[in-house]
Amino acid sequence: MSDGGFNMPDFFGCMVFNESVMQSRLPREVYQAWKKTITQQKCLELDVANVVANAMKDWAVEKGATHFTHWFQPMTGITAEKHESFIVPTGDGRALMEFSGSSLVRGESDASSFPSGGLRATFEARGYTVWDTTSYAFIKDKTLFIPTAFCSYCGEALDEKTPLLKSMEALNKQALRILRLFNPGTRVKAVLPVVGAEQEYFLVDAAMYAKRPDLVYCGRTLFGARPPKGQELYDHYYGSIKPRVAAYMEDLEKQLWRLGVYAKTKHNEAAPAQHEIAPLFTTVNIATDHNQLTMDIMKNIAAKHGLVCLLHEKPFSGVNGSGKHNNWSMRTDRGANLLEPGETPYENAQFLLFLIAVMRAVDVYQDLLRASVAGAGNDHRLGSHEAPPAIISMFLGDELDDIIKAMETKAEYENRENEEMEIGAAVLPHFLKDSTDRNRTSPFAFTGNKFEFRMLGSSASIAEPNIVINTIVAEALRGFADELESPEGVSRTLWKLLRRNIREHRRIVYNGNNYSEKWVEEAAARGLSNLPDTAAALSALVSEKSKEVFTRHGVFTEQELQSRYEIFLENYCKAVNIEAFTMVSMVRGSIVPGVLKYQQELISLISMKKAIAGLALPYDCSLEEHILTRICHLSGELLENLTALEETLASKKQREPQEAADFYSKHVCTKMAALRSIVDELEAMTASEHWPFPSYGELLHSV
């Protein structure tokens, strides 16, 4: 399909060294050897790597590339890259372009400046990047990007990619055991977790952004009085896309398409200035690469349009925050979705087993799932303005809920007939309605043939939660397979196993309103965990239960888990610390002078009017005096709360990571919230020409 010279089939993936490019450029035996590394999980031999590297270099140079980089995902939450040119000296003052198999397969990076959580000492600087052969190389900014894993000199994972690949292997191993029990002659050789990650974001004007130190330093507004109009009318949601935003979205999609990212859906979100982009499903490691790439390109494209893309989970108080909806399922190498219910799910034993395995996994490891999405930014988002609460629960829908109830009680299940949708207008076509509704308040919802984990923050990597999902589902399947492989056989064991697990884990299923206060009480009665913030949630990473499941499946060692726990705690403390000092700086350097100037103006006006009134002219000063009195009162409270925050920050000392996180959560965040409430009221009382920063109304409605 061509439109003005733009041909999508030819354009899509044109900057990706994908399978079709390899097939056309590599000798048949080399291509087959590379293919075996994917399908049979074999190591790539160096002689094969040399041929692949040379072909990759030739292709990249033809596309205008001059450099290559091993692109990896350290524990910073973003990606890292070190660029090296293809040039090598010839000895006569000239240069050639070369790229060896060893340079493709392995790189070396200084690991000393990346977070390690104590896995290695500062002087042990060597780190290795290793090519992820399952994720295609691509060209961006005249550089060949090679997706890689990143590990220490002693082999510990220092990144998100390595444990993600290990979790995929764990899930594959256990899922295959189940499939072979149901069909001993199955031709399925691999089961892959697949993900589609919906990405929410805000766009604001770059000039206004530059005037807000909190946005610049923290990614979110630390102060801001509510504007007269927010998202109350929901007129922005799915509304017509403004020209400036539409131009941005068009550029973004084209950049993503040329890099092989299946960007599919775009629309306005609920809050003003908020939008969403969603891709098609891919295997989880590629989906993770693509999401990191998407976030990077979103920011770069925004700058070209005089915009700034905000990926913080809660840039603006009082309106929707931004999340990432992680749509997760399992697919065989033959294309079958293992979470597809089929037309008669109550008769589909294999589907029901995989479904109940996920139910068990989510219930047993609910605290670990919560920890996987913990972060300073997400603490402000969860539980408000359409974000799911911090309590993990699962939505199945009426039909599946009826099925598992019938299984649990051994009752006969009455199949729900597909109902034809009647809208009432004769001209509208008829169609069959879905067997169940969606629940947008549920943290972990079944949505037809996949689970949508809705708790992820918009700025976070999708790797961590998917590592957890893959591993805990692998563990549930392992237990099921161990039991089903018993001498009694599948037919005698299956239904007893499923009924028992339904009975033990159905407490995690909740189809109601997760925002309701009654649900908080009911969840507590059911024994579900409620971990309200990052400081409370992260300890689940190093519980004995977590250590056991991760080490059993070879995803993490205990040392790697401990390092991640400490890194995440440190990141949380640093994020809150930066916000607190930014608050202090904004108040002392800009807000106090602006408020004092307005007070001075009011005092001058009152004095002038009273002087005139001394001449027997009737000038009333009650309005000015009322405003001045309130602002003076708030100014006193401002000083009190500002001083309290500064003293709290000054009292922080060297603490253990968990103790430090608790200190920031209980003391610093509390003082910050108190200070914010005073400042926001002062903003509403102060004349706009004296307020030093663009308002919420200007930021949210400027694009």
Q: How does residue 558 score in pLDDT terms, banded at 50, 70 and 90?
A: very high
Half-sphere exposure at residue 20, Cβ-oriented, CA atoms within 13 angstroms: 8
**pLDDT tens digits for range 6-30:** 788 889 999 999 999 999 999 999 9
- Residue 177, H or E segment: helix 161-182
Look at residue 421 in the predicted model and tell me its pLDDT.
57
Nearest in space to 472 (alpha carbons), one of 579, 308, 565, 362: 362
Look at residue 1 in the predicted model and tell me its pLDDT.
40
Residue 187 identity (one-letter amino acid)? R
> Quick check: 370 and 390 in contact, CB under 8 A?
yes
Q: Which residue has the higher pLDDT, 520 or 429?
A: 520
In the block, tokens 């770069």 appear at 300
Q: How does residue 107 score in pLDDT terms, banded at 50, 70 and 90?
A: confident
* Crossing angle (nearest 10°) for helices 284-304 and 161-182: 140
Q: What's the whole-number mean pLDDT along residues 517-525?
A: 93
Measured torsion, CA atoms of residues 549, 553, 554, 556, in degrees rounded to the nearest 10:
-30
Residue 2, pLDDT > 50, answer: no
Q: What's the whole-number mean pLDDT along residues 136-164?
A: 91
Nearest in space to 158 (alpha carbons), one of 168, 150, 146: 150
* Whole-angstrom distance, CA of residue 102 vs CA of residue 46: 7
Q: How does residue 91 score in pLDDT terms, banded at 50, 70 and 90?
A: confident
In terms of DSSP H, where are the helices of 614-668?
622-651, 657-663
Q: Which residue has the higher pLDDT, 613 or 462?
A: 462
β-pairing, 67-71 vs 83-85, is antiparallel
* Whole-angstrom distance, CA of residue 697 vs CA of residue 685: 15
Q: Which residue has the higher pLDDT, 371 or 151?
A: 371
Who's near 1: CB < 8 A, 6+ residues apart?
7, 8, 9
**pLDDT tens digits for range 260-299:** 999 999 999 999 999 999 999 999 999 999 999 999 999 9
Tokens of 90: 């010839």
DSSP code string of 212-239? -HHHHHHSS-S--PPPS-SSTT--STTP
- Reduced to 3 states (helix: H, G, I; strand: E, B; else coil), residue 391 is strand
Tokens of 642: 């500002």
Counting residues of the chain whose pLDDT is more than 90, the rounded percentage is 74
* Whole-angstrom distance, CA of residue 214 vs CA of residue 679: 14
**pLDDT tens digits for range 480-493:** 999 999 888 788 89
Domains of the chain as residue ranges with CATH: 2-158 (3.10.20.70), 167-418+431-573 (3.30.590.10), 574-700 (1.20.120.1560)
* Whole-angstrom distance, CA of residue 459 vs CA of residue 301: 17
Look at residue 39 in the predicted model and tell me its pLDDT.
76
User: Which range has the worst mean pLDDT, 27-41, 101-115, 182-196?
Assistant: 101-115
Q: What's the whole-number mean pLDDT along residues 101-120?
A: 75
**pLDDT tens digits for range 311-332:** 999 999 999 999 999 999 999 9
Beta bridge partners of 391: 530
Q: Which residue has the higher pLDDT, 271 or 425?
A: 271
Look at residue 416 in the predicted model and tell me its pLDDT.
64
Average pLDDT for the chain: 91
> Quick check: 175 and 191 in contact, CB under 8 A?
yes
User: Which range has the worst mean pLDDT, 113-122, 457-466, 666-675?
Assistant: 113-122
> Quick check: 164 and 659 in contact, CB under 8 A?
no
Say how many Å lie between the first and final Cα of the chain, rounded: 32
**pLDDT tens digits for range 165-190:** 999 999 999 999 999 999 999 999 99
Q: What's the whole-number mean pLDDT along residues 379-394?
A: 87
* Whole-angstrom distance, CA of residue 646 vs CA of residue 648: 5
Q: Which residue has the higher pLDDT, 432 or 444?
A: 444
Residue 563 identity (one-letter amino acid)? S
Who's near 629: CB < 8 A, 6+ residues apart?
none
User: Which range has the worst mean pLDDT, 418-427, 490-499, 661-670?
Assistant: 418-427
Burial class (CB in 10 A: 0-12, 13-18, 19+), 394: buried
Half-sphere exposure at residue 272, Cβ-oriented, CA atoms within 13 angstroms: 21
> Quick check: 324 and 451 in contact, CB under 8 A?
no
Nearest in space to 509 (alpha carbons), one of 391, 646, 348: 391
Q: What's the whole-number mean pLDDT along residues 41-69?
A: 91
Who's near 344: CB < 8 A, 6+ residues apart?
415
